[in-house]
Structure 1
């Protein structure tokens, strides 16, 4: 069984789900228009506005520290990450 309470406490997971819900809504609306269920049609202007709004919201969340390093428990960097002079290269081999 899925423990939804734990998932909703993970801010990165919540942001990913919100992004996916926007994509799902777009796909459903485009499909509904294609088969004639609705007259609503996404224009490039609407798509651009929605993308700009979502980017702005996530940009503010990232600036506030809501979007954080998933490898740490809190909002701060780990001691190891703060001491890096350059990224580790051995993890990509």
Structure 2
């Protein structure tokens, strides 16, 4: 599985998703050890977790333009994320 991590780590969408995933993981591990991570009350915490889960889904690591989990040959050659508005790599 080949993934252009240098470019992925420059993508704001990917970084938001990765940070959200990390927060959810930290919360689950804390709960495993009995640490209460409730923000204000249970409902607010549930809403916060749902927002984080949606952010993770938005920044899926998978490249939808290829089959499997690897980046396309074109994406492997990028030096920074492509701007789809003008169709050119910058």
* TM-score, scaled to structure 2: 0.42
Structure with bigger helix share is 1
Instruction: Say which one has the larger Rg.
Output: 1
Higher relative contact order (CA 8 A, sep 6+): 2
* TM-score, scaled to structure 1: 0.41
